[in-house]
Amino acid sequence: MADPEIEVAPRAEFKRIGETQLRDALNSDVAFADEPKRQAAFRWLGDEAQARRLREEKTSHYVRSTFFATIAAVIVGLIGVGLTLLH
C-alpha cells in the first residue's frame, strides 16, 4: 500500500479529472506510464465507489423512512376524518 501522503497530489488531480475521464484514461493505457500513479488511480476509484455506495444506502434509508412516515400520516388523517364523520 502506498503512503497516503505521497498520494495527496494524484488524488487531488483525480478528483479534478473526475471518475469517468479517469476510467477512460485507465482503459486507454496511454495516459498512465507511471505504475504507482496508475495503482493510486485504481485505489481512488475504489474509494469513490465505496463512498457512493454509502451515500446511496443512506439516501435509500431516508427515502424509505419518509415514505413510511407519509403513509402513517395519511392513515392517521383518514382515521381522524372517519371519526369526525361518525361523531
Mean pLDDT of 56-70: 91
Among all chains, which residue has been given the C-alpha cell 485507465? 26
Over the stretch 36-49, which tens digit does the pLDDT of each residue have?
Answer: 788 888 888 888 99
Residue 83, C-alpha cell as written in the block: 371519526
Give the domain ranges of the chain. Answer: 8-86
For residues 25 and 3, what is the distance between their CA atoms, to the nearest angstrom?
23
Predicted TM-score (pTM) of the model is 0.59
